[in-house]
Chain A
């Protein structure tokens, strides 16, 4: 994925963190953020979100982008070696990477970039994209919410 777009997906992660990201039975998809290169949030959707941040969505997007931006710079300075991809994930599972790649190449590029009616900014309003993304996330093997 080349850097004009950042996808960030919250997977798994529970109070008993640390061990839970290894137990696939406990996986679920919480929510997804899509950011453009300037940090504005193009798209947000949530499925199984149990805790809200306690601030307005707008503030939350800024905070989330700020965190990701800082992590990228943090990681590039901290790294003992030269990196290719840089920051991948924190406290999450490996398959998230392919999932995000899929969302970018098969959904975002196909349904938003190749749609002349869809302006690149400031937010995604393609109904087709939203419904396809929703269907894709719901079809993921690890989507089903835990019996909480």
Chain B
């Protein structure tokens, strides 16, 4: 089983550390003739599929490369608008690679602060007295586990839904954070963590957790 990524969010909702442990690649390359049988649109400086799923190309996939050359956002490598380029029959047949768009660091910052407020709303709308915020959020392809320390720092781990032992992993990450980030004299509180020892220890903790917890009861 796998652990996808780790986020550390400070008490103000700022992302202070992010690590992608495993990014599954679901990419499809296909050669198209004119006219294109997919509906494409601009979205967040990317060109994504808005209609027409086929051959593993899904709605929401972004164009990653055209004729083997990586695209630059919504433009082709030589600066032309992708949608304009694909409108021209002279450019066909064309080979396009589609896949899930990778998150930019800005998007990661945004998602981290979004989770920060979702966490707070979750606890406000709770029907029980003294409830914490979201500790586990489940989807069909991953589970998000969140551990908030008493000082308000949130450690977030995205893992396969079947991965077990995440509670222990979150505690371990907290320990690594206190040992290698907080005890580092060059680290200023609430700021992004850039410590090599923190990186190394986190990576080995993830490896240990992946090996140890497969299909265990509960997570």
Interface residues of A (CB under 8 A from B): 10, 13-15, 17-18, 21-22, 30-31, 46, 48-51, 53-54, 60, 63-64, 66-67, 70-71, 74-92
Contact = CB atoms under 8 A, between A and B. Distances in A.
A51 B126 contact: yes
A46 B128 CA distance: 12
A85 B125 contact: no
A14 to B, nearest CB: 5
Nearest to A12: B128
Contacts of A30: 127-128
A-B interface, 4 closest residue pairs, ranked by CB to CB distance from nearest: A30-B127, A15-B130, A90-B137, A49-B127
Interface string B16-59: 00000011101000000000000000000000000000000010
Contact of A51 (B22, B111, B127, B139): B127
B125 A53 contact: yes
Given A82-B60, A90-B122, 19 more contacts: A10-B126, A15-B132, A18-B132, A31-B127, A46-B127, A50-B129, A53-B125, A63-B125, A67-B121, A71-B137, A78-B144, A80-B22, A80-B141, A80-B158, A82-B61, A87-B138, A90-B134, A91-B134, A91-B137
Interface residues of B, number: 41
A48 B128 CA distance: 9
Contacts of B122: 67, 90-91
Contacts, number: 123
B5 interface: yes
Given A14-B131, A67-B121, A67-B122, A77 B140 contact: no
Contacts of A81: 24, 26, 100, 141-142
Interface in B111-125: 111, 114-115, 117-118, 121-122, 124-125
Of A46, A53, A75, chain B has the most CB atoms within 10 Å of the CB of: A75
Contacts of A67: 118, 121-122, 125
15 contacts: A13-B131, A15-B128, A15-B132, A30-B128, A46-B127, A48-B127, A66-B121, A80-B23, A80-B24, A80-B141, A82-B141, A83-B141, A86-B139, A88-B139, A91-B137
